[in-house]
Amino acid sequence: MSKNKLRKFAEMETFDNVFQCSAADSDMTMPYHLAGKWRHEVFGNDNPLTLELGCGRGEYTVGLAQMFPQKNCIGIDIKGARMWAGAKQAILSGTRNAAFLRTNIEFITRFFSADEIEEIWITFPDPQMKKATKRLTSSYFMQRYQKIMRDRGLIHLKTDSPFLYKYTLEMTKANGYELLKSTDNLYKTETNNPILNLKTHYEQQWLDRGMSIKYLCFRLHHKQEFTEPEVDIEKDTYRSYGRNYNVSSQKQQMTTK
């Protein structure tokens, strides 16, 4: 591990807005000590909770918290070095209604109680085209979200992936969720919406690459049975690139195809 990452991990241990817990830390079958208590013990208020799943550098977590001071926002990710950026920004800017939880999203039901979450944002997750249960918008994860969300709570998805966008649309249809909004070209159709114009680090990479951004929002009403969509969806034909990838050369490749 690089010295820079070690420095960030050490600094995060001193942040009062970061809570870290991995599968190896303790018995993951037991409720987390803050489950049901986030609003009062962490934020000191009774405002509704919004989660950003796969928060990366936390741009949405901090951005939403600043835009909506009447909401408490928690970014969740397993990548601590990335999370450091958002946690640091929240501290430096005095954004007291933003916090971060470092853990695997699969264990999310351990960290929150029933009806504790009002809203979830899923921002640019891996589409996981090979295995449905790994997709953050699959019925597998909807069962987990339902256990911690209020009935008819809002779920938002922003993605560059045509596959994940289409899959999620089919998932909402198969389970009868109320679809409130969907677009396969966000910055063409929602130019005046300040919430949707918040951009993550990875989102800007896709925009620089010439990709259109997809968005949808639906209500997760409580139900007993869940259905996984049985439809064939064309797989994405591109992959993300590493930190040293030459974006301009990729654009040229795309235009010459």
Nearest Cα residue to 138 out of 171, 176, 105: 171
Q: What is the pLDDT of residue 218?
A: 98
Residue 103: φ, ψ to 5°: -165, 175
Q: What is the pLDDT of residue 171?
A: 98
Q: What is the pLDDT of residue 63?
A: 95
Indicate if the pLDDT at residue 244 is higher than 90. Answer: no
Determine the average pLDDT of the residues in 182-205: 84
Q: Does the annotation count 126 as an active-site position?
A: yes
Indicate if the pLDDT at residue 65 is higher than 50. Answer: yes
Angstrom distance (rounded) from CA 121 to CA 124:
10
pTM (2 decimals)? 0.89
Q: What is the pLDDT of residue 199?
A: 85
pLDDT in tens, 66-111: 999 999 999 999 988 889 999 999 999 999 999 999 999 999 999 9
Residue 170: φ, ψ to 5°: -65, -35
- Exposure string of 5-17, with b = 16+ CB inside 10 Å and e = fewer, is eeebeeebeebeb
Of 16, 126, 151, 208, which one is the catalytic site residue? 126
pLDDT in tens, 3-34: 788 888 888 889 999 999 865 555 667 899 99
Q: What is the pLDDT of residue 242?
A: 42
Q: What is the pLDDT of residue 251?
A: 42
